[in-house]
Structure 1
Amino acid sequence: MAQVVQRRKRRRSVEGMLSAALRYAALGWPVCRGAAPSGTGGRACGCDRVGCPDPGAHPVSATWGLEATTDSEKIRGWWSTDPEANVILPTGRVFDVFDVPAGAGVMALARMGRAGVHAGPVAAVDAQRYLFFVATRSPVDEDEWWSCHLDCIPERIEESPGLRWHCRDSYVLAAPSVLPSGNAVSWIRAPHTSPEETSLPDPITVLDILSDSCEEFLPS
């Protein structure tokens, strides 16, 4: 029964993957293909790397930064040939993403609500991490950037245990991408359907609240 349920969940997610990629592109958010969460021979990832360190949660191509696009025809072509590909959103272009433990994310959302602070889009990854989408930093603030490539994760902010800042040269897995567990990335607060309506909050305001929440949720 569990396998049947998992197959159904996977089928629904595959059907929505192209639609989601096109919706993000319509918002002006570049997308690229992510590896499928399962491969041949019982491997956890569809890529060709043995012992993939991040199964189903990284781009298909090492040149993802150049390939990412909002071109709907190119996106349709990608998913017509690779319908099980997950959806990757590069960061540091239209938005940055703060990546925190789910418990700290829940705490931060409650605090934002009480303080009247706009949270912006927020996604959940396998009930373990929350992704807070915020306005990207300008090139003037180069000292605020961390880089992330195919085989690494963003550096953690030392003063805020458990908090990662995805910005230029980094990326996040987007809903409804599927993880090896069979669970899908989901929106807690979904973006609006048009760029004009999708307001991204100031990163420093959100960072302050997330930092406090991470420190309380994960005391050093």
Structure 2
Amino acid sequence: MAGKGRLSEWVRRRTEGASGPARTAEPDLRRDPLVRAAATAGFPVAPAAHPANYGCSCERIGCPIPAVHPVSPAWQTQASTEDATLERWLRSDPLANFITATGVGHDVLDVPAEAGRLALERLIADGATLGPVAARDDRLLFFTATRGNPADEDEWWPCELDCHPETADEHPGIRWHSRGSYVLLPPSRLPSGGTVEWLPGHGPDLPLPDPLPVLDVLADACAQFAYEPERQPATWLR
């Protein structure tokens, strides 16, 4: 299928070419419309740090996760889709990255790029519902409907591991970002010098799929690359 081949090739070039040192940059003119589009889609957003002076724009000395964390520790309560709030943030810092808080209107299944490419090919070949998908260096981010607000609170799967980007190297498999977590939104700049990007034709305007069918395909793809599960699934995932 031609579309499948073009998308897979774009992802391969995108993730394999995302390297190099962080550098000072001019404002990305795509940022404001892309962040507005995410908010319009119902993704709560909040300002995040950005690369600066080969480090992080935050004031923390030796920031352990430079340019990939929210500006405020109160980001969960600040995250918003309101136009006035968003416009104020966009004007206040033209270089700021933006995050979206997960577990409210959407979740994100975050996998290594090589497994994500394989899963993409299978999902497209099967004609499965595929929602927004973003590429971030050597990871792919699959946006889905949320499981973060179940009717039975005992079914909630806390994703403490997924809340901490600094643990990614130690836990490289599937990371399910739900309540209490976040991901960077396109076109956020990364310390590597790359940017977060929506896959062609898979931006925030697409409907969000149920996470469980997508998770099944991602888990199978990760297993082929010997990525171990991070934890036993909660009972409501069985």
Taking structure 1 as the reference length, the TM-score comes to 0.82
Q: Deviations over 1:188-215 (max 9, x none)?
A: 143354xxxx311111100000001001
1:155–1:164 CA contact under 8 A, matched in 2: no
Matching of residues 1-220 of structure 1 within 5 Å: 10-11=25-26, 13=28, 15-38=29-52, 42-126=53-137, 128-137=138-147, 138-140=149-151, 142=153, 143-148=155-160, 152-153=164-165, 162-188=173-199, 189-191=201-203, 193=205, 198-218=206-226
Aligned AA (2:76): G
1:124–1:131 CA contact under 8 A, matched in 2: yes
Q: 1:169 to 1:217 in 2, by over 3 A?
A: same
Deviation of 1:148 (Å): 4.5
Aligned AA (2:40): A
| Distance in 2, Cα, partners of 1:154 & 1:165 | 15
2:103–2:177 CA contact under 8 A, matched in 1: yes
Root mean square deviation, CA, Å: 2.6
Aligned AA (2:96): A
| Distance in 1, Cα, partners of 2:166 & 2:221 | 19
Q: 1:34 to 1:191 in 2, by over 3 A?
A: same
Deviation of 1:218 (Å): 2.6
Aligned AA (1:56): A
Consecutive unaligned residues of structure 2, counting only runs of 5 or more, are: 1-19, 229-238
2:37–2:204 CA contact under 8 A, matched in 1: no
| Distance in 1, Cα, partners of 2:40 & 2:178 | 21
| Distance in 2, Cα, partners of 1:70 & 1:153 | 23
Aligned AA (1:28): G
Deviation of 1:141 (Å): 5.9
2:159–2:176 CA contact under 8 A, matched in 1: no
2:111–2:140 CA contact under 8 A, matched in 1: yes
Taking structure 2 as the reference length, the TM-score comes to 0.76
Deviation of 1:66 (Å): 0.7
Deviation of 1:56 (Å): 0.9
| Distance in 2, Cα, partners of 1:48 & 1:213 | 39
Aligned AA (2:128): V
Consecutive unaligned residues of structure 1, counting only runs of 5 or more, are: none
Aligned AA (1:18): D
* Identical pairs, percent: 43
1:161–1:214 CA contact under 8 A, matched in 2: no
Aligned AA (1:11): E
